[in-house]
Chain A
Amino acid sequence: MRISDVLSKDLIMTDLKARTKMELLEEMSFEMSCRVDGLNRVKLLEALLEREKLGSTGIGHGVAIPHAKLKGMDSIVVAFGRSKPGVPFQSMDGKQVHLFF
């Protein structure tokens, strides 16, 4: 499976406004739920937060891969978000995150 096949252009966010980890997850959940049929904003946010509790998905080098499993989805959905100033995300290397995949 190619990422470029499942990442539609309307789920590419070039200039995220969030300044904290919570705001970032809220912002991306909101944008995704607006664009994907049947994707519930609150359920998505809850699932993402549950996953972050196990350990940050900030993998270092300014990259994070927040992810979640959700009931009722028909297929995989991938979004890409970018923060120009960067967001603190409890990454392993302590760096701010610019790229959210």
Chain B
Amino acid sequence: MIVVPENSASANLKALGGISRLLLDSEFRQKLIKAETVEELAGLIKEEEYKSSKVAGSM
């Protein structure tokens, strides 16, 4: 769920784009469904984002 200030269209789009890109990966989705704790979920998201930023950076 994403809530943005009324006059911030670009922040909204960036967040939506970032999240939906990560969620294209079915393995990542399965990990999110199976994770037990908040810490585990937060860690998975951070890790996936780090991996995807490295891929984007190398292109």
Write the residues of chain A forming the contact surface with B, with a CB cutoff of 8 angstroms: 1-4, 6-7, 9, 12, 14, 28, 32, 36, 39, 44, 47-48, 59, 61-63, 65-82, 84, 98-101
Top 7 nearest A-B pairs (CB, nearest first) are: A67-B2, A73-B5, A4-B46, A79-B1, A77-B3, A12-B38, A101-B19
A-facing residues in B1-51 (Cβ within 8 Å): 1-6, 8-9, 11-12, 14-16, 18-20, 22-23, 26, 29, 32-33, 35-39, 41-42, 45-46, 49
Given contacts A3-B19, A3-B22, A61-B26, contact A73 B4 (CB under 8 A): yes
The A interface, classified by DSSP as helix, strand, loop or mixed, is mixed
What residues on B are CB-neighbors of A62 within 8 Å? 29, 33
Interchain CB contact (< 8 A) of B20 among A47, A59, A72: A59
